[in-house]
Amino acid sequence: MAIVNRTPDSFYDQGATFAFERAWRRVEEVVAEGADIVDVGGVKAGAGEPVSQAEEIDRTAGLVSAIRERYPHVVVSVDTYRAGTADALCRAGADLINDTWAGSDPEVAAVAAEHGAGLVCSHTGGMRPRTLPHRVSYDDVVADVLATTVALAERAVGLGVPSQSIVIDPTHDFGKNTYHSLELTRRLDELVATGWPVLVSLSRKDFVGETLDLPVSERLAGTLAATAVSAWHGARVFRAHDVAATRQVLDMVASIRGDRPPAAPLRGLA
């Protein structure tokens, strides 16, 4: 799942794909690099300038439509917590609603059901959209994530979202400190054991930076290490800024697991 944000204040690229032309160029790049899903966002996840629903739709609908027309084989995902935005973008051609704020707008799941779209069910520990965690605590963070995401998935099925189109996301960093995110990565197999496909959004996040004491620009190696661990545990979807590197890691893990043959096995055979 490649990240393409039409925001001027993204924590990673600081607006590098805010302009439509740059966003489209990035879409072309990530598809060529092996992205199966393109995730389009119009509002920065963290604290920042307010963005109205109308502005969010204006930033994202044209890009969603263009991807849908140019790349019919690519799954188009939209990163939004607003039902009105989700509805507009599904009408524009989105296949998947990436609700990173854990159903803060309960109508998002109903929108997914109405359009036959997929839904990402996430966990934020009850935090409201675009807020930062402060001294959060859990008796068992994995148990809390399991209870929340599975309940949201089951609610979505009850509303009519196809069960095969639902993904759960432990949502690293959101409503969590670095220790929580590390524990979730270490115990990710417990989420996989639910039977719901698991998405991880690890790319250059603060838990990577705080673990290694590195700025955003230097967090790729740590991100890829967390990606490899998550893949080994059975995660299915990987939201990433660095698509080519992530694809190589996933292919390597799949080959070690025996799920993918080597691409060019000649050593000792020729």
Residue type, 134: H
Query: Active site includes 260?
Result: no
* DSSP one-letter string for 27-85: HHHHHHTT-SEEEEESS-SSS-S---HHHHHHHHHHHHHHHHHH-TTSEEEEE-S-HHH
Catalytic residue among 82, 176, 204, 239: 239
What does each C-alpha distance from 144 to 21, 51, 108, 167, 178 come to in angstroms?
41, 30, 21, 17, 16
**Phi, psi of 77, deg, nearest 5:** -110, 150
What is the Cα–Cα distance from 28 to 20, expressed in whole angstroms?
A: 12
Catalytic residue among 176, 187, 205, 247: 205
Query: Active site includes 239?
Result: yes
Tokens standing for 1? 């799942």
- Residues marked as catalytic: 205, 239
